[in-house]
Structure 1
């Protein structure tokens, strides 16, 4: 590929990396898996970038690749394999509202994959119902029902957690 095309790709991706990482993390709930999903997404985009001289709506295309990579990873189920006899110790970073974020991530993990994807895309990535439906390859009414059910489930899990902590 010509150097100017590579530079164009790097410039395009550089500004979007934080959002990609955040979305992937919110979808899967695991920092390392999120990095793998983002890397796989960028590789797929680079291949397309090489082939095409123009990609219409590159942001939408990038988002679609990311969601599909996440759903593919969830289908594989290999990520549940533990190769050691115990989990490694990971120090918690001192940040405000760590408990709240942890509770939300735990609650998000209880949702089915499609509901979680719909919630993250609609409310964290601030996509419209139509954009979310296009990314998830479903109808707008399905997105609405998935979001509605997901929010109800999140409220129940978070309220139960608050009662347990009290």
Structure 2
């Protein structure tokens, strides 16, 4: 063996440790981020099964690009992949059907009864029958709490477009929800 060079066995052992550390790191990220990604996916497409498939595909693509994704904000990277996958699917189908979900992944326990939670979820689902672009921006901005810049990056539009589209979407949501409230009290 030449001085200053390592043996092939040592190089292979180091490679295996690095791969194991990377996989463990990604597994931790996946465990922490999957519920948030599932909720975002459902809000983007309105169907539990499609949302699960989107999350799996987004996590797979994020894993394949893990060295790049982990340099910045991995969750933002995964959300961007998720949004892009949804856009790709929408472009292929060119139509969309928002379906009620029996099990929307919730962020926290709200203290409401299951019936009240279901009624509120149903009300929100019907109100979110916005055009695709508006719904995507409203969901990311107001339900997921992303900044205007993060939404612009995730959707691939300017910050100004996010502001105007979110404003029109929120106005439309208010109109729909106020109309429902007025119809419910009459």
TM-score range, shorter chain: 0.7 to 0.9
User: Which of 131, 137, 142 lines up with 1:118 in the alignment?
Assistant: 137
Name segments (4+ residues, structure 1) moved above 3 Å.
Answer: 51-55, 78-81, 163-166
- Cα RMSD over matched residues? 2.5
**Cα deviations by residue, 1:26-49 (Å, 9 ceiling, x for unpaired):** 111111111111111011111112
Q: Deviations over 1:77-124 (max 9, x none)?
A: 28869xxxxxxxx79x9443321210111111x211111111111111
Matched residue, 2:123: 103
User: Deviation of residue 17 (structure 1)?
Assistant: 1.1
Q: Which residue of 2 aligns with 1:136?
A: 155
Match of 1:25 among 32, 42, 45: 42
Offset from partner CA, 1:116-148 (integer Å, 9 cap, x none)? 111111111111111111111111110000001
Change in Cα spacing, 1:53 to 1:36, as seen in structure 2 (3 Å) is closer
Residue 60 (structure 2) pairs with residue 43 (structure 1): yes
Q: Which residue of 2 aligns with 1:8?
A: 25
Q: How far apart, in 2, do the equivalents of 1:44 and 1:37 lie?
A: 11
In structure 2, the gaps of 5 or more residues are 1-15, 104-112
- Higher radius of gyration, 1 or 2: 2
Unaligned runs of 5+ in 1: 82-89
Seen in structure 2, the aligned counterparts of structure 1 residues 17 and 95 have a Cα distance that, compared at 3 Å, is farther
Partner of 1:86: none
TM-score by length of 1: 0.82
Q: Whole-Å Cα distance in 1 between the matches of residues 96 and 159 of structure 2?
A: 32
Decide whether aligned partners of structure 1 residues 11 and 76 sit closer, same or farther in structure 2, where only a CA change above 3 A counts: same
Q: Structure 1 residues 95 and 6 mapped into 2: Cα distance closer, same or farther (>3 Å)?
A: farther
Q: Distance in 2 between matches of 1:18 and 1:63?
A: 12
